[in-house]
Amino acid sequence: MDSQFIVSLIIILATFALYIWIAVINNAKGTSDFYVAGRGVPSVYNGMAIGADWMSAASFIGMAGTIMVLGYDGLAYIMGWTGGYLLLTFLLAPQLRKSGSYTVPEFIGDRFGSKTALIIAAICTMIISFTYSIGQLSGSGVVIGRLFKIDAGLGTMIGVVLIAIYAAFGGMKGITWTQVAQYIVLIVAYLVPVIFMSLQITGNPLPWLSYGHIVSELGELDRALGLSEYFAPFENGTKWQFLALMFTLMCGTAGLPHVITRFYTVKTMKAARWSGAWALLFIALLYFSAPAYAAFSRFILMTQVAGSKIAELPAWTKTWVDTGLLSVADQNGDGILQWAELVIKNDIVVMATPEIANLGAFVIGLVAAGAMAAALSTAGGLLIAISSAFAHDIYYRILKPTATDKQRLNVGRITIIIATLLAGIVALNPPGAITQIVAWAFALATGTFFPALVLGVWWRRGNSKGTIAGMVIGLAVTLAYIFAAKYGGFTILGIIDTGAGVFGAIAAFAANIIVSLSTKPPSQEIQDYVTNLRYPEQMTYKDGEVHMTE
């Protein structure tokens, strides 16, 4: 056991202890604590929790690498995974908060007065969240596995046990405050290496101001090699694919149940607005930095690694070649490593930076702890979403409305434990790469919940039959396009499986509107319910009149 391993282990265990301690002191005392954190979380902290919930292992480890590989086209992920917060905060969050629901399926059930709609929404929630959480548990398995040099599967099960403990204990309240801690860990872990890299390469400690010139220099280096420039637009896909992907990611943001439920934990509609603003600010700290990581890493690889004698490569390259993420070859036999002879996998960019920049064992351990924080925080939010879809929406609202608070809490806890175990088992042998699985979850959310919620909140005429048609058809079209594009090579305008949400959303909106207009309108009571969501809490709309609480 070398000292680097021990330092990393200590840092990770310290952060794990912190998360469990926070969960224990926030032990859920009732269903209000368990599902909506007692509705008392201040906006700034809620913003941090949303940030941690949002940034998963894929963002932390994978995004910088994706941008390095895709160049300009990778920026669709940056804009797509941030721009959606405007859709969420303007169109949905305050209104859903006023409705007083605990979950998205409950809102759909109440808004449309339909148990069928509630059940379909609960099932969609479970499918989307389960898919997404497989990616997270698989990611945490990889980190733990690489760190301790144990099987990634064993690493996954360790993650499973940990999450089951602190999610079942604290419910939403425990998860939210744990996420605040996880945010701080992950953002410090992400920023420290890139700040040092910026200092070393440009002399400027602010990577966001300094990497612009590096991007241009990379373009020159590419031109000299006869390659297309790093920043050239649409080299990796069509313009339509960029736009479709950006649309899918933005609308998916506003349609993911585990993200939307975060806005139920605040006190008021105003607090919901502020939570959205704080959340994006905290998320942006990472998203501003990812392209900097990409540019600096590529620069180092092109100038210090490529072009060197193979026998004289920097020391850090050897360890990464051993893990299989970096491979060097000498195809032309000249003893020098050309850029084309170097093969890089995405994951290397963030994880290898502390070694590239010579930052020492502490920072290496910190980055590993940060990756774990990112994976665990997202997994926690997802598992609460699954648990609430079953224990609250199906068990309490449909199967046993007379259940006591205690019974509901117990069912909630048991559901978390079972869901975590199942997701962990599937994660041992995942159906695809982490980012791919995550992209499918987004596409499904764009095709099902985004249209259902936007029309549900903003269009009084929308009725239950229309929404059911919309959700089912949206789900079908999205799945069909994903399969057709991925396995059949079928694309429209060059849009691949990750952009499938566009077609799902169009189909869902159309189906919802057509079926709603062809069947009878919702009752006056329901239409009033929708009108009421437009106004702040103090103004209540009922029976054609508005009353203001004094």
Partner 1 sequence: MKKIDKSVADAYFREKNTYMIIYFVIWAIVSYGVVAIAEPLSTFTFNGFPFHYFMGAQGALAVFIILLFVNAIVGDKIDKKYGIDEKKNEEIGSKTTQNH
Q: Provide the binding-site residues for partner 1, judged by CB under 8 A.
A: 31-32, 36, 38-39, 72, 75-76, 78-79, 82-83, 85-86, 89-90, 97, 100, 102, 208-209, 211-216, 219, 231-234, 239, 242-243, 246, 250, 267-270, 273-274, 276-277, 280-281, 284, 287-288, 291, 534-541, 544-550
Pairing of the two strands 545-548 and 326-328: unpaired
Q: How many of the other CB atoms lie within 10 Å of CB of 451?
A: 28
Q: Closest CB to partner 1 among 281 and 480?
A: 281
**Least distance between partner 1 and beta carbon 211 (Å):** 8
**Least distance between partner 1 and beta carbon 378 (Å):** 20
Q: Closest CB to partner 1 among 79 and 422?
A: 79
Residue 546 phi, psi dihedral angles, 5° rounding: -110, 130
**Least distance between partner 1 and beta carbon 104 (Å):** 15
**Least distance between partner 1 and beta carbon 16 (Å):** 31
Q: Closest CB to partner 1 among 106 and 347?
A: 106
**Least distance between partner 1 and beta carbon 234 (Å):** 7
Angle 199-201-202 (CA atoms, 0-180°, nearest 5)?
Answer: 70
Three-state secondary-structure class, residue 102? coil
> What is the b/e burial string over 339-358, where b = at least 16 CB atoms within 10 angstroms of the residue's CB?
bebbebebbbbbbbbbbbbe
Q: Closest CB to partner 1 among 80 and 139?
A: 80
Amino acid (1-letter code) at residue 541: Y
Residue closest to 60 by CA, chosen among 242, 149, 157, 183: 183
**Least distance between partner 1 and beta carbon 246 (Å):** 7
Pair of tokens at residue 343: 């093969």
**What are the helix and strand counts (H, E) for the chain?**
23, 4
CB 510 within 8 A of CB 502: no
Q: In sequence order, which ranges of 261-404 are alpha helices (DSSP H)?
A: 269-300, 315-323, 348-356, 361-387
Q: Closest CB to partner 1 among 117 and 250?
A: 250
CA 109 to chain centre: 26
**Least distance between partner 1 and beta carbon 461 (Å):** 17
Q: Closest CB to partner 1 among 220 and 334?
A: 220
**Least distance between partner 1 and beta carbon 196 (Å):** 20
Q: Closest CB to partner 1 among 69 and 428?
A: 69
| Measured distance CA(292)–CA(212) in Å, rounded | 8
Q: In sequence order, which ranges of 203-268 are alpha helices (DSSP H)?
A: 207-225, 239-253, 257-260
Q: Closest CB to partner 1 among 218 and 444?
A: 218
Q: Closest CB to partner 1 among 60 and 287?
A: 287
**Least distance between partner 1 and beta carbon 262 (Å):** 15
Through-space distance between the first and last CA atoms of the chain, rounded to whole angstroms: 68
| Measured distance CA(374)–CA(537) in Å, rounded | 35
> What is the b/e burial string over 403-414, where b = at least 16 CB atoms within 10 angstroms of the residue's CB?
beeeebbebbbe
